[in-house]
Structure formats: C-alpha cells, structure tokens
Structure 1
Amino acid sequence: MSTTTPRPAAPTAAPPALRRGSVRGLVVLVLLLVVAGLASLAIGSRPISLGTVIDVLFHPDGSDASTIVHDLRIPRTVLALAVGISLGIAGALMQGHTRNPLADPGLLGVEAGAAFAVVIGIYVFGVHDLTGYAWFSLAGAGLAAAAVFAIGSTKGGPDPVSLVLAGTAVSALLISLTQAVILRDIDTLDAYRFWAVGSVSGRGMDVFWQVLPFMVTGLVLAAMSGSTLNLLQLGDDVAASLGLHPMRHKIIGVLGVMMLTGAATAACGPIGFVGLVVPHVARHFGGVDYRWVIPYSGLIGGLLVIGADIIGRVVVRPGELQVGIVMALIGGPIFIYLVRRTRMVRI
C-alpha cells in the first residue's frame, strides 16, 4: 500500500517590515540643527564670519559682532527652534489623534483663539507690547481649544471628525469676530498686523522664558502619547480591547496640541504649514511608528523654521521677510510635492 506524503504548505509571505526611524537619523537631524543654528547666528543684514560667531559666542567682548549675536540673533534662533519643535510635534499629534493626514493644529481653533484674544487685548485693554500679546494669546488659545474640545466630544470622548468640524466652526466664528474688531479701529489693525504676520524677529529671551513652561508641558504630554498613538490608529474599539483607555489618551493628546500650538503662537504669531507638512516628512524618513514620528517631527520642524528664517533674511536684503511669509511661500509647494510623490492622500 502506497502512502502519499502530504506536500508541505507553501510558506506565507511575511508582511513587509515597516520602515522605522533610528537613533542615527535623530543624531543626523541634531547635527543639521547645530549647523543651521550657527548659520542663523552668522547670516543677516550684517554677515558675520563663522569664526567670529564662535569666538563671541563663548567669549563676549562687547563688540558690535558680540552685541548682534547675543542680543539679536540668539533670541530669534532659540525662538525659531522652540516654535518649530512645538508646531512639528503638535502637527504629528493632531494627525495621529484625528487619523487625518490633512489635519493641522489650527483645526483646534488655537490660532484663531489666540488672534482674537490679541485683538481684544489691543482694542479693549490697550496692550501694545509683545509680552502682553503672549499672555493674551495663550489665554485665547486655551479657551478656544477648550471650546472645540467640549463641542467635539461625545459620551465616548473626543471624536476625530467632530473635533475637526467643531474646530472649523469655532475658527470661522473667531476669525469673523477678529475681522469685525480690526475693521472698526485702524490703530488696532496696525498693531495686530505686526503680530499676525508670524515672525521670530524683535522678540527677546523674555518672551521665550514666558512660553517655555507651556512648551515643556506639551512635550511631556506628547512623550506620553507616542506608543498609545500606534494603538489608536487601529480604532477605538481595538485599542480598548488591548487594554487602552482611548478617551483618556485623546484628552492627553489634545492638551498637548493645545499647549504646544498655543505657546508657539503666543511667542511668534501664527506660522502656517509647519504642523501640516512636517509630520509627512517625518513619516517619509522615519516610518509610521509614532515613537519615532514625534521626535523626528520636532527636529524637522525646528530645522524648517530656522531655515525659513535664514531664507527670509537673504532674499530681500537689506530688509527681510518674516517666517510666516516664507513658510507660506515654500510650505504649499512642498506639501503638494509630498502628496503627489508619496500618494498620501487619495480622493
């Protein structure tokens, strides 16, 4: 009697490994940030050689070069780095929690709330200094985000689609109110335009120290969201079945976005496209694991804002373009290229 040996089943193809970030990639980004920072200290309406920059950086001597580096360029470079990190990470958190690749931190109404509060500060309370703008901006950003969060939440917690719709509605309302106020008073319009253009110039380290606690709090909340965001991408039901509390972690993530975006907007005014574009670049180089997407987004965001600030100083010498204008000019084409190149969004 002949027996037939069962033919072994064909091995199933293993799913392709997800591309992951690496410590080496983070080190490269940090080195690029150091180079960009030194370039930011050297380049401007008055160029300073790199050797002189390094010399006066560690040995301030009261010379013109030393004054320019320490009093003007260090504060704006530090602010550009902090704002870029904050907006990049806020964008990654926003896209992760809404599961929407076109989500932007501004969808929470943070920027519109900050702008409206600054206008009220100027028009009602006569505030005309950057320090005052920062506090009004933080308050407005927090109240607007809280309103969006309350409107866009259901019994099961904040719903991604409801948050976007609520944010759009609240932003439209606040923008309309802002326009109504500034059209009534030309002095308010002139003061508001100076803040609303989005710039890191003219800010001192005092502004940075004021918003730093909020940025640090946002970074801590973002660090708590890294691993849980990977599970939330599977859906709330799956995440809950794996032992996660979706509502709690969504609240943490939304608070992180609010803190980071509110602090960045308070410091430098609204700067667009950073939170929208940077997470896509981070996923392109670091993969979809949010434990890597978040730090990559922060470093790439800092690099992008510092680079935009440098470009703004050289394209219209002896004047300069503000970061918000430069980002509007380069952010749109970059995002269109990324969408078409990597097929991130399909309609």
Structure 2
Amino acid sequence: MLAFGVCALVLFAALSLALGSRSIPLSTVVHALAGTEHHGDANVVTGLRVPRTIIGVAIGAALGVAGAVAQGVTRNPLASPVTLGINAGASFAVVAAIYTFGLTRPVEYIWFAMAGASVTAVAAYAMSRSGGDLDPVRLALGGTVLTVVLTSWTSALMLASHRTLDEARFWLAGSIAGRHLDTLAPVLPFLVLGLLAAFTVSPSLNALALGDEAAQSLGVPVARIRVVGGLAVVLLAGSAVAVAGPVAFIGLAAPHLVRPLLGNDHRWLLPGCLIAGPLLLLAADVLGRVVARPSEIEVGIVTAFLGAPLLAVLARRVAR
C-alpha cells in the first residue's frame, strides 16, 4: 500500500506541475525538468510550479505526521493541530508580530509561529489534566476554546490595522501559491527535527494507546513520550503555518485515511501519513487551480471546505 501511495503522490506532483491557470503539456514539463528547454512554459514550471510542489509535499508531510502523533499522544481520534488550537496559536502570534513589528515576509514569521504553537500546546495540555491524567475529552474542548479565543483576537488585530489586514489576509487563507524555496529553507531544520522526533516515539505510541497505567507497566516513560511527541507536533505544525499559513484538516484527515489501509500500528501509520499528507494537500491545491480558472482558490480554503463535513462524520463516528 505504501508503494501505491508513492505512485499516487508522484501522479499528483506531476499534475501540480502541469495544471494551473493554463495547462502545460507533460512533454514540456519533462523537458523543463531535464533542463533541455528554458523559455516560455518551461520557465513557469521551473520557476513557479516546482517550488510550489516541493513546498506542498513538505507542508503536507508535516501536517499529516503531526496529526497522527497528536492523535496518538492524546488518545483522541479528533486531535490535530487545528482541533488542539495549535494552528490558531501560531496564526495569532504571526498576526501579532505583523501588527507590532511590521513584518512583511513569510520567512520572518517562523519564530513567532513556533512560539505561538508552543504556548497554545502547553495551554491545551494544562486544561486537559484531570486527576493527574490526560483527559482526551477535556483536551478537545480546551483546544476548541483556545481556537475560538485566539481566532477572535486575530480578527481584532486585523480590524485594528489596515496594514496588518493587507499583509495577513492572504497568508491566513492558507496558500502555497507564490512561495519560493527560500521560504521553506529556514523552517526545514525544524521540520526535519519534528519528523525525527515523531518517528522516534512511534513505537511507544502503540503502548500509550492502552492507557497510561498499562503503558507504564510495559516500561514506557509516558511523560517523556508525551513531551517528545508534543514537541514533534509543535515543530511540524509551527513550520507548516510559518510557510503556508493555517491549512486546515490535512492533519485530521490523513491518519483516518491511512488507518483502514495500514492499521493502527504507528510504525506503519506515520510513514503512511508521510505520504497521505502531501497527497491530500497537492490534490486540494490542484483542485483549487482547476475549478476557478483563470483564477484559483487557495489550498487552505479548499481543505476547509472539504474537511468540515469530514470532521462532522468523524465526530459522529467517535460518539457512537
């Protein structure tokens, strides 16, 4: 199944290079990638669509793995960087930085996105403690409350300053359009570190699913696993938000799409999400380009439109 997923990802990467405000023949795409053509549509492929596709793969992988780790650490199937409030915290911190310091480039957002994601993750975790144990229901409710509060604060800052509104509104929609590789480069070390941390704790997440007491009886250091797993989610989600803005539902959907195919073992689930996340994001990005030609819809809007019904279905299934 992983091989099939890789093939599907390659297909959508090719579509991402070929489709846009106008279609480019695959032969031109191949020549542009091979370096045998350097004008016209070939320049569009190498200058705009290749960086966009690479960034889409990186951000999709970060969000997919972050969602799987968040669900494993919290034992909550509805957990994701969005539902835990991490995306909202990172977004508020970035908009506050734009309002206060006049930032204008996504490359400047990274430290503020990381700080906002970290503070929100700690706050959500603190709100979820019940008798010394993690309560998944309280965690989801706490994340929802934080998301509502931080989103309202973000809107207030944007309404208070036209300059902040102009700078932040496109970024807040969640988009990989117009992004260049120099935007991805500063966050790449954090993204890689987050992936390494996630895969390091993946075997222990299987034991954590049995409950804290059972995991401790098996010799799993529950507190340390939660700290490392939470750090992985913050690094991955913060990196993604810094580059592309708050892209919703990739982290929630990817694990639920992978589990029926690969099972609940996190040693397989995480590699599956590493593929499914970019696949979902590129598919949404391509769809946003095709349905609104000659314009396009930001990928964050497409994922939100498709992800809201998914969240309702998953919530109903979990309630049952």
Q: Does 1:328 align with 2:304?
A: yes
User: Which amino acid is 1:53 matched to?
Assistant: V
Out of 232, 242, 266, the residue aligned to residue 218 of structure 2 is 242
Asked whether the 8 Å contact 2:24–2:41 carries over to 1, the reply is yes
The two structures have a TM-score, normalised by structure 1, of: 0.86
Equivalent residue letter for 2:295: G
Please list the CA deviations of residues 61-116 of structure 1 after superposition, one character each: whole Å capped at 9, or x if unmatched.
43122211111001111111111111111111111121111122224432112111
- Looking at structure 2, the residues matched to 114 and 218 of structure 1 have their Cα atoms a distance apart, in angstroms, of 16
User: 8 Å contact 1:157–1:247 — kept in the other structure?
Assistant: no
Q: Please say if residues 279 and 297 of structure 1, whose CA atoms lie closer than 8 Å, have aligned partners that are also in contact.
A: yes
| Bigger CA radius of gyration | 1
For the pair 1:194 / 2:170, whether they are aligned, the reply is yes
Q: What does 1:94-243 align with in structure 2 at a 5 Å threshold?
A: 94-150=70-126, 152=128, 160-243=136-219
The residue type paired with residue 53 of structure 2 is: T
Q: Distance in 1 between matches of 2:262 and 2:250?
A: 17
Does the Cα contact within 8 Å between 1:145 and 1:258 map onto a contact in 2?
Answer: yes
Letter in 1 for 2:209: Q
Partner residue in 2 for 1:345:
318
- Are residues 1:292 and 2:268 paired? yes
Where in structure 1 are there 5+ consecutive unaligned residues?
1-24
Q: Deviations over 1:163-201 (max 9, x none)?
A: 444433433332232222222122212221111000010
Residue 313 of structure 1, CA deviation = 0.7
TM-score by length of 2: 0.92
Give, as a single letter, the amino acid of the residue that structure 1 aligns with 2:38.
G
**Structure 1 residue matching 2:108: 3-state secondary structure:** helix
The gaps in structure 2 that reach 5 residues or longer are: none
Query: Cα 1:333–1:157, aligned 2, differ >3 Å: closer, same or farther?
Result: closer
CA contact under 8 A between 2:110 and 2:238: conserved in structure 1? no
- 1:214-243 Cα deviation digits (max 9, x unpaired): 111111111012111111111111111111
User: Which residue number in structure 2 is paired with residue 4 of structure 1?
Assistant: none
Quote the Cα distance in structure 2 between the aligned partners of 1:33 and 1:318: 25
Q: Number of paired residues?
A: 320
Q: Percent of aligned pairs with the same residue? A: 45
Aligned-pair RMSD on alpha carbons? 2.1
For 1:338 and 1:155, locate their aligned partners in 2 and report how far apart those are by CA, in whole Å. Answer: 28
Equivalence for 2:16: 40
Give the helix-richer structure, 1 or 2.
2
Separation in 1, partners of 2:148, 2:21: 38
